[in-house]
Amino acid sequence: MSATPTLTVPQVPLGRTGLTVGRLALGTVKFGRTEGVKYPEPFELPDDEALATLLDTAHDLGINLLDTAPAYGSSEKRLGQLLAGERDRWLLCTKVGERFEGGESSYDFSASAVARSVTRSLEALRVDRLDLVLIHSDGDDLTILESHRTLDVLLALKGDGLIRAVGMSHKTLAGGERAIELGADVLMTTYNRQDTSMAPLLARCAQAGVGVLIKKALASGHDGARALAEVANTPGADCIVVGTINPAHLRANAALVADNP
């Protein structure tokens, strides 16, 4: 009698980036921050042993992209410690533009702030190059792109070899479209049962070779897990980022995505 095959999520190219990602990624806001989050149930930060177990589970499921940000409290620093010696296992996505301190977010999309943010993320994550860096929008996407020219700064840092791919975690349809026009490699886009307004953008990204990471696929935990299968079945949804600190939930999510390759 043969052994039961190990469940793994499908692997797909992330647009034109040259990166291959599992169709499910692990969001890590719960690794480093409990304040100001919109999840329906309160939670405590896991200890290092629990996070190590979660990361091992993710790896075994074929998940290879970890999504973090300076605005996720101690997430970057903890990942840097937890992934020591295991860098080759993972693709790391972080962000610029937003910080969260003293219970509040602050935003700075200037060239100097972006450069400092990338340097801090490299140090916190203990790496010499970031796989993916996204603009962490405050909602005013067009001002960020056209007045601050933040994407241009990231593209320059990519040219310097500090980043492999760049893009935007945007809030508006117009912002996503403009980011594509300005050369974004990847967009992080909200898409779920309750909000399908970005569907035209998914098709545009597919035509342009721009990778798509889906955020809030479960409406920050307010939709049932089965909704994940519907999002996974959506054309253009390359990779779904789900934040969890529960290995059982992660396995269940992976099963839903694996059934919708």
Give the Cα separation of 57 and 254 in Å (integer).
11
Contact status, residue 142 vs residue 178, Cβ threshold 8 Å: yes
- Residue 102: the pLDDT is 85
Quick one: average pLDDT of 16-42?
A: 92
Across 83-112, b (16+ Cβ under 10 Å) vs e yields beeeeeebbbbbbbbbbbeeeeeeebbeee
Residue 222 — pLDDT band, cuts 50, 70, 90? low
- Residue 260: the pLDDT is 67
Residue 186 — pLDDT band, cuts 50, 70, 90? very high
Report whether pLDDT(214) > 80: yes
- Residue 218: the pLDDT is 86
* pTM (2 d.p.): 0.94
Quick one: average pLDDT of 27-44?
A: 89
- Residue 185: the pLDDT is 98
Q: What is the DSSP secondary-structure string of 57-89?
A: HHHHTT--EEE--TTSTTHHHHHHHHTTT-GGG
pLDDT in tens, 103-156: 889 999 999 999 999 999 999 999 999 999 999 999 999 999 999 999 999 999
Residue 41 — pLDDT band, cuts 50, 70, 90? confident
Report whether pLDDT(235) > 60: yes
Report whether pLDDT(226) > 90: no
Element (H, E) at 16: none
Report whether pLDDT(5) > 60: no
Residue 261 — pLDDT band, cuts 50, 70, 90? low
Quick one: average pLDDT of 192-197?
A: 91
